[in-house]
Chain A
Amino acid sequence: DAGVIQSPRHEVTEMGQEVTLRCKPISGHNSLFWYRQTMMRGLELLIYFNNNVPIDDSGMPEDRFSAKMPNASFSTLKIQPSEPRDSAVYFCASSLNSEAYTFGSGTRLTVV
């Protein structure tokens, strides 16, 4: 298995622009998580999907953030409009029944 695949690996965008991050979880995993990692706050859970349904989005910082999982093999995290304070590394992780997490390599987002 290729693991959790995220794209792009790096994204640089101007403030106010829309940003879409993509994730392909491991086949057969039924849980998907979006995390954000910063030096100040460490790893924070943004949203959790189970069987493609959003279960917990309490970590989504603002209405500017939205996430979708249209099917079991694809999820997106969108920020619109983006702000400099959104700069961070965004990770997608998947698991089977919320056991051992497998993380992707992350997307490093820079908003200038």
Chain B
Amino acid sequence: TQLLEQSPQFLSIQEGENLTVYCNSSSVFSSLQWYRQEPGEGPVLLVTVVTGGEVKKLKRLTFQFGDARKDSSLHITAAQPGDTGLYLCAAGINDYKLSFGAGTTVTVRA
């Protein structure tokens, strides 16, 4: 059983459309991270959210941490082919250990 459940598992959209991916858990976390992984590469950190209800924006990407710090969402506005990749959420379960979700594979068609 995954500590972090990500949905949907796969998402394929046309360039210019919006998308939202979700990361849910029954546990409370002090912080949560989002990574993007491109084929043949390692995950790259996009953002860390630490405060319940926090919203962070990174260009066309908007990240939200749930009020209860159990869930998070990533919204991409006007998706572009360069947004294609595996989006992973991760949460710290102790001082150093991150638990990763299974990820959402996003494909943006030109």
Contacts and interface: CB of A to CB of B under 8 A. Distances in A.
Interface of A: 4, 31, 42-43, 45, 48, 50, 55-56, 91, 93, 98, 100-106
Instruction: Categorize the interface residue count of chain B.
Output: 10 to 19
Chief secondary structure at chain B's binding surface: loop
A91 B86 CA distance: 15
A8 to B, nearest CB: 14
Most chain B CB atoms below 10 A, which of A93, A102, A103, A104: A103
B100 interface: yes
B103 A42 contact: yes
A42 B96 contact: no
A31 B33 CA distance: 17
Chief secondary structure at chain A's binding surface: strand
Given A91-B42, A105-B41, A43 B96 contact: no
Given A93-B42, A101-B45, A106-B41, A45 B97 contact: yes
Contacts of B2: 42
A42 B41 contact: no
Contact of B88 (A43, A56, A102): A43
Contacts of B101: 42
A102 B37 CA distance: 12
Query: Top 5 A-B pairs ranked by shortest CB distance?
Result: A103-B42, A98-B96, A43-B100, A42-B102, A103-B43
